[in-house]
Amino acid sequence: MYAIIKCGGKQYKVSEGDILDIDYTGKAAKETLEITDVLAINDGELKTGDAVSTAKVEAEVVLDGTGVNRDKKVIIYKKRRRKDSKLKRGFRRSFTKVRITKIAA
């Protein structure tokens, strides 16, 4: 059984027991997180639309996103063909690591 969920503007295909990195939620470790934005569920037959409007996915926070849990730095570099016309910026995304505990249809 798997579900396709939408969390933080991204879509994830999850099963029970999966561990994934989602955008920072502000939850502490070992708290539960309920995701109600379920796009599809497959338990032998694919269900979408109104059939999954009441579905939800429960997850447990393994690591919270404070301080330590950050992705690699992404460098944004813009350059034009003018003298001293360049811009360099960096960005590191904070994330929360969760474990999927239950998929309820």
Beta bridge mates, 63 = 97
**d(C-alpha 55, C-alpha 47), whole Å:** 10
Q: What is the mean pLDDT of residues 5-23?
A: 94
Q: Is the pLDDT of residue 100 over 60?
A: yes
Q: What is the mean pLDDT of residues 14-39?
A: 91
The answer to whether the beta carbons of residues 96 and 24 sit under 8 Å apart is yes
Q: Is the pLDDT of residue 44 over 80?
A: yes
Tokens of 24: 């920072």
The residue behind tokens 């960096």 is 90
